[in-house]
Copies of this chain bind each other. A is one copy, B any other.
């Protein structure tokens, strides 16, 4: 690929910002609160706009239905304010985990009234997506069980399909449903969509607007994610990504900090598929928990890491790679891939940022020097925390 083409790709990639990640997040042991963190949906939009200012490839805010609404239940003003700030609303996420009713699951719950309630929520979400101008529903079914015997697994699978069908059927023809999978948490015996196979099975049953969503942190130790990506691409079944990093469980760390090779190899498979003639339609989103670092910094840094990985995957010498593969040259082929990974792509990224019209080629520096962080600290303050000795 020549430099112009690479720069084009780098400028065209869009990564959705998760509205929920600019707020506070934590572990089950508690949440360390951050000075200046977003308190309202308006704060979140402002933060996303600031992030887009320094990055230029994040003009879309993924949304969580439960949280991204005005105090009086309106969505249209949210869309308007976002648009005013230069942002579109991206993937809309239903909420099936944060209510007391979901103790035994949502659409998989053995309680019929909970399933019905959830299905109604799905219909609301599709309506909201339409109001928001979004074409993608992002579905994480958090349902599961904690103990053998607690529920009948096959019946849960049937309930799962029933619920997803309600959601799928409510969507317009030009909408896409992306279905996430996760091996564990918040439940610890079974999760009703535990891996990509279970997600794909549901997509196959629903129809060709249902695709698999791959969250990088939702895998057991050792899973080869890029092979799953490659398989899904070949089946035309890849819908999108939640980017983050895991070291142990679903740690939701800044993407690219645990094993930068992983993200690079995923991009490599995507480019391989595209160059092999596969038509792709992939929604990229971040989904992370910035437990100790300032959220906005963590998000900006994540996108930069994703760009680095993407640029490296783009500079792989594919002609040489093909030749090495044809000659069964194992070391040579791997070295071509590693040479690309080892390439300093900083100049490419800086050029892309200049062409995007950004005011600084270093987005993190741009943010830190721009005064926004100081401003929100002052305006929003510190959300009622314990202080030392107090």
Chain A positions near chain B (C-beta within 8 angstroms) = 25-30, 32-33, 97-104, 110-111, 113-114, 117, 142, 146-155, 157-158, 183-186, 188-190, 194-198, 200-201, 220-224, 226-227, 230-231, 233-235, 247-249, 251, 253-254, 256-261, 265, 268-269, 272-273, 276, 278, 289, 291-294, 297-298, 301, 305, 308, 321, 324-326, 328, 330-331, 333-338, 341-344, 346, 364, 385-389
When distances are taken between beta carbons in the complex, the residues of chain B under 8 Å from A186 are 26-30, 291
Cβ-neighbour of A111 out of B142, B231, B291, B328 (below 8 A): B328
Contact B198 A30 (CB under 8 A): no
Q: Are B231 and A325 in contact (CB under 8 A)?
A: no
A301 partner, pick from B113, B200, B278, B335, beta carbons under 8 A? B335
With a CB–CB cut-off of 8 A, which chain B residues contact A154?
230, 233-234, 272-273, 276, 278
Q: A197: nearest residue on chain B (CB-CB)?
A: B197
Option from B117, B146, B197, B298 in Cβ contact (under 8 Å) with A253: B146
Docked-complex contact B100 and A32, CB < 8 angstroms: yes
Whole-angstrom distance from the CB of A320 to the nearest CB of chain B?
Answer: 10
With A146-B253, A184-B222, A234-B154: A293-B98 Cβ-Cβ less than 8 Å: no
Collect the chain B residues with CB atoms within 8 Å of residue A30's CB: 97-98, 186
Q: Which 5 pairs of residues, A with B, have the shortest CB-CB distance?
A: A197-B197, A221-B221, A149-B337, A344-B344, A147-B334
Q: A334-B147, A337-B148 are in contact. Are A247 and B29 (CB under 8 A)?
A: no
Contacts of A149 in B (CB 8 A): 321, 324-325, 333-334, 336-338
Inter-chain contacts of A151 with B (CB < 8 A): 325, 333
Chain B CB count within 10 A is highest, among A104, A222, A276, for: A222
Closest to A99 in B: B386
Q: How far is the CA of A389 from the CA of B119 in the complex (A)?
A: 12
Contact pick for A269, options B153, B183, B201, B324, CB 8 Å? B153
Task: Return chain B residues, CB-CB under 8 Å to A265.
Answer: 148
State whether A153 touches B227 (Cβ < 8 A).
yes
* Residues of B close to A113: CB separation below 8 A: 388
Say whether B257 contacts A259, CB under 8 Å.
no
Say whether B222 contacts A223, CB under 8 Å. Answer: no
Docked pose: A337 CA to B247 CA in angstroms: 18
Given contacts A149-B337, A328-B110, contact A231 B344 (CB under 8 A): no
Chain B residues whose C-beta falls within 8 Å of the C-beta of A334 in the assembled complex: 147-150, 254, 257, 301
Q: Bound state CA distance, A127 and B337, in angstroms?
A: 43
Please, which residues of chain B bring their CB within 8 A of the CB of A97? 29-30
Q: How far is the CB of A35 from chain B (nearest CB, A)?
A: 10
CB-CB under 8 A from A268, the residues of chain B are 148
Nearest residue (CB) in B for A249 is B249
- Closest Cβ of chain B to A105, distance in Å, is 10
Q: Could you say which residues of chain B place their CB within 8 Å of the CB of A29?
A: 97-98, 142, 185-186
Additional 17 contacts, C-beta under 8 A, given A150-B325, A220-B223: A29-B142, A32-B103, A100-B387, A147-B254, A149-B324, A149-B337, A151-B333, A152-B276, A153-B231, A185-B248, A188-B253, A189-B247, A257-B338, A292-B330, A293-B331, A298-B331, A305-B338
A118 to chain B, nearest CB (A): 10
A240 to chain B, nearest CB (A): 18
Partner of A198, one of B188, B198, B231, B272: B231
Q: What's the Cα separation between A224 and B200 when bound, in Å?
A: 18
CA distance A111 to B220 in the complex (A): 33
The answer to whether A248 touches B188, judged by C-beta atoms less than 8 angstroms apart, is yes
- A-B contact list, 25 entries, CB within 8 Å: A100-B387, A146-B253, A146-B330, A148-B257, A148-B268, A148-B334, A149-B321, A149-B337, A151-B325, A153-B226, A157-B231, A185-B249, A190-B224, A190-B227, A197-B198, A198-B231, A200-B201, A248-B249, A259-B261, A260-B260, A261-B261, A292-B330, A297-B331, A308-B342, A331-B364
